[in-house]
Structure 1
């Protein structure tokens, strides 16, 4: 159905996302920080990357810049996950190369809608 990389350092949020993805029929791999995310992204192919922006050390926007430099994964859609959505953040994330963003706490209906929209847009027939 779809393979998704989830990059999130909060165990509670990771557990919620894992549950939402599993119950929606998606497969996922998980990374707790930016370095692990890049390593996993280079070794696997994903249909979508859910990327926490506030990661320790190597933040999400820095990870996104690195993703966009790697030919094999630069076209993979990335959805930003952020706890501090402020005015102008959506534009900043889109300009950086994200396909959209989901604010935390996660609205389950909105999460599923964005996920389905991204996955359907990227399916190859």
Structure 2
């Protein structure tokens, strides 16, 4: 499934990064990581990613702020940004979309949902 897609994940938790790396590699994806929103912003602007997975709560700069800044700096050339959250409460989806995110995944990441999201936003 992986192909030549270039993916970025912003995730501050080291264990979550290791688990995601294993999951994505098993699916044939190469995944770059940013440890906070500020690093994600820099990577997004300086890289050419097909899709960004963005944790919501991170130190230095959270996922919503990073998403807004990526959208501001990159405009229409910004890749789809997928929210990663451990808690999907009523109203969260709307908050994510208002910040410029394209979709969201709950943690822990479900393989079927991951494949569907990647297919939906990179086809």
TM-score, structure 1 normalization:
0.87
Matched, 1:27 2:30: yes
Output aligned runs, 1:58-97, within 5 Å.
58-71=61-74, 74-97=77-100
Structure 1 residues not aligned, in runs of 5+: 121-125
* 1:73-103 deviation per Cα after TM superposition (whole angstroms, max 9, x unaligned): 7531000001121011112111221110001
RMSD between aligned alpha carbons? 1.6
| Partner SS state of residue 40, structure 1 | helix
TM-score, structure 2 normalization:
0.88
Residue 57 of structure 1 deviates from its aligned partner by: 2.8
Moved over 6 A (4+): none
* 1:42-66 deviation per Cα after TM superposition (whole angstroms, max 9, x unaligned): 2210000000001113110000111
Structure 2 residues not aligned, in runs of 5+: none
Structure 2 counterpart of 1:117? 120
Number of matched residues? 120
